[in-house]
Amino acid sequence: MTTETVWKGKYLSVRKSGTWEYAERIGAIAAAVIVAIDGEGQLLLVEQHRVPLGRTCLELPAGLVGDESAGESVAEAARRELEEETGYHAAFVEERGEYFSSPGMTSESFTLMLATGLTRTGEGGGDAQENITVHRVAPEAVAGFVATKRREGVAIDAKMLLLLGSGLLEEVAGR
């Protein structure tokens, strides 16, 4: 089946294969999504405005791999993005698998990373285009925190389900 490019921007293209339309990152750029636990056992979450949603969204810290320097590893990107968004540097990062964010709409994937050995290096908050609020939440309080944010009208990133249903929080809380 022939695949054609319907539209192409700087970072995304829209492709069509038969009757199927989907978005694709240009340059096969991947993403790192970070589960970060600080020295006090608190999980770091970020809240930021997302233009496609028209409101803020509660998320795990995350970012693109290789968007700033070619050849960047997933671990390097995870450390860079975590520090930029939250103000914490990770001594250790561990890959926890590749996932696909919305396979019916996009070819985008992300690698889930566990970050530990955190050192506070700054305020975080993201780059000049971002206005990120950092939340530190006890692992056992994440479900209630997410529910509260949802009631406040904050969008909840689907990747939060990786925390709520996988047993990952219980695992990292026991470290």
Q: What is the pTM for the complete model shown? A: 0.90
Higher pLDDT, 175 or 134: 134
Distance CA 116, CA 145 (A): 22
Fold that domain 3-173 belongs to in CATH: Nucleoside Triphosphate Pyrophosphohydrolase (3.90.79)
Supply the DSSP string of 63-122, one letter for each residue.
EEESSSSTT--HHHHHHHHHHHHHSEEEEEEEEEEEEES-TTTB--EEEEEEEEEEEE-S
CA gap 45, 54 in Å, rounded: 19
| pLDDT of amino acid 174 | 64
For residue 25, the SS3 value is strand
> If pLDDT is split at 50, 70 and 90, which confidence band does 162 have?
confident
Tell me, what's the pLDDT at 28? Answer: 67
Residue 171 has pLDDT above 90, yes or no: no
pLDDT at 96: 94
pLDDT digits (tens, 9 = 90+) for 108-159: 889 999 999 999 998 887 777 778 999 999 999 999 999 999 999 999 999 9
Say if residue 44's pLDDT is above 80: yes
Distance of alpha carbon 15 from alpha carbon 20, whole angstroms: 8
CA–CA distance, 135 with 43 (Å, rounded to integer): 8
What is residue 175's predicted lDDT score, i.e. its pLDDT? Answer: 55
Cα gap 26→66, rounded to integer Å: 12
